[in-house]
């Protein structure tokens, strides 16, 4: 086995597929029960992916990726937790906990493709545990279908926040959008929402006070507490790079101030034979197209090293 890939989103699946095409064996480890990463909840088409079917939402594209991957002779461990990484570069001893039993794999190459998660705060996470009316990150299809003809508060000022506001307004919701600072969405997104009578926009709200009720959430966007049926937090994403704390100190790659794993153009990290791909790295434009390309790049780098020592 030539490489162990941590994460089964577009980047990890792309890397495994490319390694297979180069005649190299890989194993993919996935923390969750489903593969596809954050794209499984994406109801937007991937407009940056040239050649994709028109108006195909991200979750449909992800299903196609999963179907393709299922036809490949590549080992996949679902619901498997990384426990520890020991050893040395070129001989990583990886302790895993699968649903069946603990196991240890010794691999020459390790690829981190753990992606991102929605950004939030400890207070918001506690509130989300207290009430199902708080959503952290993009809404799933089931959640979207539940939010009709109700009052919704959206926390955030980027494209995702405004896109959700438009969508919920079309479902009959009265929507309030609160950004901690200035809005940074695309101008036409802001203009569309500003012209919608059922959408109210507020900048420079800071941290909005929130409290759970029996039927929803009380929030103060700046002019006193109001009752909302739901709160959707869309503050962007943060990299799932804390996983490197499970590595021996000498095997931990350099991370940038925002937490992203630092890589060169071949997706190599500061640790030999350790690669990072996808949204866990600091990419200028996070997207499926970039993730797939980085997966291929890392696979090519691994293949070059194995074949010629480069």
- CATH fold match for the domains 3-117+237-308 and 120-233: yes
Tens digits of residue pLDDT in 81-104 = 999 999 999 999 999 999 888 999
Residue 79, pLDDT > 90, answer yes
Residue range 154-164: mean pLDDT, rounded: 94
Residue range 164-177: mean pLDDT, rounded: 96
CA-to-CA dists, residue 234 to 120, 122, 172, 302, angstroms: 8, 15, 20, 36
- What is the gyration radius of the CA atoms in the chain, in angstroms? 21
Structure tokens at 299: 């696979």
Alpha-carbon gap, residue 299 to 15, rounded angstroms? 5
Topology annotation, domain 120-233: FAD/NAD(P)-binding domain (3.50.50)
Residue range 5-22: mean pLDDT, rounded: 96
Residue 214, pLDDT > 90, answer no
Residue 265, pLDDT > 90, answer yes
Residue 297, pLDDT > 90, answer yes
Counting residues of the chain whose pLDDT is more than 70, the rounded percentage is 100
Alpha-carbon gap, residue 110 to 57, rounded angstroms? 31
CA-to-CA dists, residue 207 to 58, 75, 98, 211, 226, angstroms: 31, 45, 39, 13, 15
Query: For strand 226-228 and strand 217-219, is the pairing parallel, antiparallel, or unpaired?
Result: antiparallel
Residue range 168-181: mean pLDDT, rounded: 96
Least confident of 24-38, 48-62, 177-191: 48-62
Residue 42, pLDDT > 90, answer no
**pLDDT level of residue 174 (50, 70, 90 thresholds):** very high
The predicted structure's pLDDT at residue 224: 87
What number does CATH give the domain 3-117+237-308?
3.50.50.60
Tens digits of residue pLDDT in 116-152 = 999 999 999 999 999 999 999 999 888 888 999 999 9
Residue 45, pLDDT > 80, answer no
Residue 309, pLDDT > 80, answer no
Q: Which phi and psi (to 5°) does residue 109 adopt?
A: -140, 140
Residue 158, pLDDT > 90, answer yes
The predicted structure's pLDDT at residue 36: 84
The predicted structure's pLDDT at residue 55: 81
CA-to-CA dists, residue 193 to 169, 180, 183, angstroms: 9, 17, 12
- Residue extents of the structural domains in the chain: 3-117+237-308, 120-233
The predicted structure's pLDDT at residue 177: 97
Counting residues of the chain whose pLDDT is more than 90, the rounded percentage is 77
The predicted structure's pLDDT at residue 84: 98
pTM above 0.85, yes or no: yes
């Amino acid at each position: 086995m030539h490489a162990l890939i941590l994460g089964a989103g577009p980047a990890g699946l792309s890397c495994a597929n490319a390694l297979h095409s180069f005649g190299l064996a890989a194993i993919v480890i996935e923390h969750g029960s489903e593969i596809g990463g954050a794209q499984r909840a994406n109801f937007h088409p991937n407009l940056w992916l040239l050649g994709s079917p028109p108006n195909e939402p991200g979750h449909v594209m992800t299903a196609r990726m999963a179907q393709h991957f299922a036809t490949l002779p590549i080992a996949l461990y679902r619901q498997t937790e990384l426990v520890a990484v020991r050893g040395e570069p070129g001989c990583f001893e990886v302790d895993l906990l699968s649903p069946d039993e603990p196991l240890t794999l010794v691999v020459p190459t390790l690829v981190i493709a753990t992606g991102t998660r929605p950004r939030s705060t400890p207070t918001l996470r506690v509130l989300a545990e207290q009430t199902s009316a708080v959503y952290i990150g993009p809404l799933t299809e089931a959640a979207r279908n539940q939010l009709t003809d109700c009052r919704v508060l959206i926390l955030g000022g980027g494209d995702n926040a405004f896109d959700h506001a438009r969508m919920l307004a079309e479902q009959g919701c009265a929507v309030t959008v609160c950004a901690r600072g200035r809005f940074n969405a695309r101008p036409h997104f802001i203009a569309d929402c500003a012209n919608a009578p059922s959408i109210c926009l507020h900048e420079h709200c800071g941290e909005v006070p929130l409290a759970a009720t029996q039927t929803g959430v009380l929030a103060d966007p700046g002019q006193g507490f109001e009752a909302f049926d739901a709160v959707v937090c869309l503050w962007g994403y943060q990299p799932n790079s804390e996983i490197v704390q499970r590595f021996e100190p000498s095997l931990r790659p350099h991370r940038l101030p925002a937490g992203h794993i630092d890589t060169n153009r071949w997706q190599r990290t500061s640790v030999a034979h350790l690669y990072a791909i996808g949204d866990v790295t600091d990419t200028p434009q996070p997207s499926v197209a970039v993730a797939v390309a980085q997966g291929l790049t890392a696979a090519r780098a691994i293949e070059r090293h194995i074949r010629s020592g480069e």
